[in-house]
Each structure stands twice: as structure tokens, then as C-alpha cells.
Structure 1
């Protein structure tokens, strides 16, 4: 299990899936709200909003819920004013963690994040204290059935991507942040809507965790992800499959 993935295994390990689903919907609606406010409330003319709507559809959010969120954000009375904030710190075993949040109360969010780090063996750091250990990239993922590996690589390079890696399950295309929307739109014209399209923090090196460290790190990640304000969490760790199976049992 890689630390830069979105911790799907964690979500499946925990109970109360309805609560997790509701929380995920709330986070997606926040992203839709911010995206619609920062640009036009039209996904076709607003690349960030288009990506937010695609992510919502991937999570099976009803279309009318998405449309209501856009209309609310575009209304004259507006909606909650969220600001984007990023926190960085260290977790158990010295792993580096980046937390992205959307909040309408910076003090509340900072307190929640600091408490989570302190309670679970971590330390909240200053801005840019760990981000130098990550690359900021554009990430686009298609299922393996979308195209052959050669066809996807050729299309990705022609679109301006840096690389395309293919496995039996999916194609993963990476590109520079400034090229992200252009690459995504070009690939979408060839292969349809991707299953994932987002800006990502990719660690340049990772730390492999033993079972005790993995348990401690996942508890911290769980606590961070439980915050309604937290949108994404990234970290530079790896957990061997055998240890993940032990933790899941």
C-alpha cells in the first residue's frame, strides 16, 4: 500500500460506511463550491469545476446533488466561504505528511489538525517543512480496457504528458501541473472521461513500515481523514501487502 494513494483500504477497514459516504459527499460538495466560485459555474468553461464534478460522479453522487451545489455556489446569496489551506508535518517513524483542507474557519481546522498529529505520535510542522520531499504533478488514470499500453503512451506524449505507465488494471499518466488540464482534455477526447484526474503530491522517496509503525501511521491518517475540513492526505510511506493483510484481519 503506497502512502500517496487515497487510503481506500483504510476506508474499507472501518465500519459505519454510511457515515464515511456522507462525509465524502460533503468534501466533494466543498470542492464543487470552491471551484464554481473561483470560475464560471459551468463545468465546460471551468476546468477545476469539471474535475470536481467528475470526481463526484466517480463517487456515485447523484447528478441533482451536483447541480444543486453548483447553483448554490453561483447564487447571489452565495454559500459558505471556504479557503484552501495546506498543513505539513511528520508522523510516526518520521514519515512526511501533507494535508490539504477547505475550511471556513482556519482556527478550528488548525486546532483539529494539530490535535490529530499530537494524539497519534506526530508533529505538525511549518509551511514547506515536508513538501520538498514530494513532487507536485498532474495525475490521470484510465482503466486498462480504455486502450492498449502503446496507444495510451503515444496519446499521452502527444498531449504533452511526461509519462504513461500501464499495468493489467490501469493506465497512469503523469504531467506537469501547468499542463494538467490540457493533457486531461486531450486524452478525454480520445478515450472518454478518465476514472481519476487530479493534482497529486508524489513522494520522491518512501519509507517501508513494519507492522507496529504501520498501525500507528494509519491511526493518524484515519484521524486526519475524519476531519470534515480535510480534502486530501498524502504521505511518503509504503506498507508491504503481507502487513496490510495482517492489519485487515
Structure 2
């Protein structure tokens, strides 16, 4: 995204996430349990579970927590969660997609609608902002793993479509159906596991936000992510580096 470092965004988000690490682990556990329940507990044959575990490990989730989440699915006593996706408009008309895992659709829909309204936005119908995004796979590596040229060559050889690199790290993008194969190929080629690997909604034409707009947007995202049922939040916004740095210092 022009004018915006994805990794400075991550740094800002990490500061907020560190304050609520237990909640983050709870969300990872829910995703791991759902993945294991749907596709089995064998990570070799369950790509979704493999990625969920890899993401949890990258965020230093304890091994015992991961094993308990898988065992919960194996034991048959796991709650039944529905995957629900909500779309709406945030401050300044920013398109927002919210992915949830919920055991109570009515509660989650009500909570998400209220959060949007309090932020000056509104929850819309399914598909109302989906056209603003591409569904792609995203793989990230720290900059220490390889230089930009080496990563570019390795990613293209592995079947990726696009690579973005800066001093903070590398972001590799794939077709959604190619994510798992590219993750495996890169790990083999580089001799290192990815920092994260997941399906995302990548904005096609992100709107550039000033500091006031960025503050409002980050507040909406923080409030959404603080909800137990919300797993991930995507928006078609772009925050310039200087604005992101100013937010991180507040």
C-alpha cells in the first residue's frame, strides 16, 4: 500500500495486543479448536489447523494451550461455533469486514452493530463492502530471514503473486487457494517458518487517513477486537507512516 508500511501498522497493533494477550490466546484457541473439529487433529492433513497453530506459536502462545485446544476438539466436548462475517462502514466511509466465531449469532450481530454505531459507522448488508477487497493469502517473514531480492525470487518460485518488502519485513501475497502450498514451499526454500500465514481481505484502493481519521479507525478496530467473538477485522484504509508513528506514541 503506497505511503504506508504494513509493519508499522503491525507494531502499533502489537502494542495494543500485548495489553490483552490472554484474550488473544483465547481467540487463537477458539480457531484451533474449530479447525481441528472441522478437519481433524492431524496437522499434516489439515492445512487450516496447521496455519492456526503456526500463527499461535508465532505470538508465543504456550504449547500446553495449543494442545488443550486440539484435545478439546478430539474429546467431542467443544462448543459449536458458527463462522459469521459482517460488513459495514466505519468512520469516513471506510469499508470494514469483521470475521467472527460465535456460539450465539444474535448476540454477536447485536454487539457488532452497536460497536459500529458508537464509532459513527453502520453495519450493512452482506456484500456491501466486499467488492472493495480481494480475498488473498498473506504470508509474513521478518526482515532478518532474507534480503528483498532473495525473498522476491523465493516467493515467485514458490508460486506467490506479489511481494512487499521494507526494512521491517516481507509480506508475500498469494491466490487464496495457493496459500498452503506457498507456505510449505517457502519454509522449505528458506529453512524458516513464516511469522504468520492467513487468508485476508486486501483492500483494492485504500483510502488515506489523516491523524484524526486514523484515531477513529483504530478506536473502532480496538473495540471490535476486544469482543470475544471477533477473530479478525479488515478495512480499506491506508495510514501514512508519520501518522502511524504519532499514534504509536500516544
What TM-score do you get using the length of structure 1 for normalisation? Answer: 0.91
Matched, 1:9 2:12: yes
CA offset at residue 114 of structure 1?
Answer: 0.3
Deviates more, 1:167-176 or 1:101-110: 167-176
For residues 229 and 162 of structure 1, the distance between their equivalents in structure 2, rounded to whole angstroms, comes to 32
Paired residues, number: 245
For residues 60 and 157 of structure 2, the distance between their equivalents in structure 1, rounded to whole angstroms, comes to 32
Q: Which runs of 5+ in 1 are unaligned?
A: none
Give CA deviations for 1:107-129 in whole Å, capped at 9, x if unaligned.
Answer: 11001000000111011000010
Q: Mapping of 1:1-249 within 5 angstroms? A: 8-10=11-13, 12=15, 17=19, 20-75=20-75, 77-191=76-190, 192-247=192-247, 248-249=249-250
CA offset at residue 221 of structure 1?
Answer: 1.4
Q: Which runs of 5+ in 2 are unaligned?
A: none
For residues 241 and 168 of structure 1, the distance between their equivalents in structure 2, rounded to whole angstroms, comes to 13
For residues 137 and 148 of structure 1, the distance between their equivalents in structure 2, rounded to whole angstroms, comes to 23
Deviates more, 1:4-13 or 1:61-70: 4-13
Deviates more, 1:191-200 or 1:108-117: 191-200
Give CA deviations for 1:220-240 in whole Å, capped at 9, x if unaligned.
Answer: 112111100000001111223
* 1:79 match: secondary structure: coil
- Is contact 2:91-2:216 (8 Å) kept? yes
CA offset at residue 13 of structure 1?
Answer: 5.2
- Is contact 2:160-2:175 (8 Å) kept? yes
Give CA deviations for 1:132-177 in whole Å, capped at 9, x if unaligned.
Answer: 0001111111122223333322222222111223323322211100
For residues 44 and 222 of structure 2, the distance between their equivalents in structure 1, rounded to whole angstroms, comes to 35
- Is contact 2:94-2:236 (8 Å) kept? yes
| CA spacing shift, 1:177–1:223, aligned 2, 3 Å | same
For residues 207 and 156 of structure 1, the distance between their equivalents in structure 2, rounded to whole angstroms, comes to 28
| CA spacing shift, 1:8–1:85, aligned 2, 3 Å | farther
- Is contact 2:5-2:241 (8 Å) kept? no
- Is contact 2:97-2:129 (8 Å) kept? yes
What TM-score do you get using the length of structure 2 for normalisation? Answer: 0.90
For residues 161 and 69 of structure 1, the distance between their equivalents in structure 2, rounded to whole angstroms, comes to 31
RMSD: 2.1
* 1:73 match: secondary structure: helix
| CA spacing shift, 1:90–1:41, aligned 2, 3 Å | same
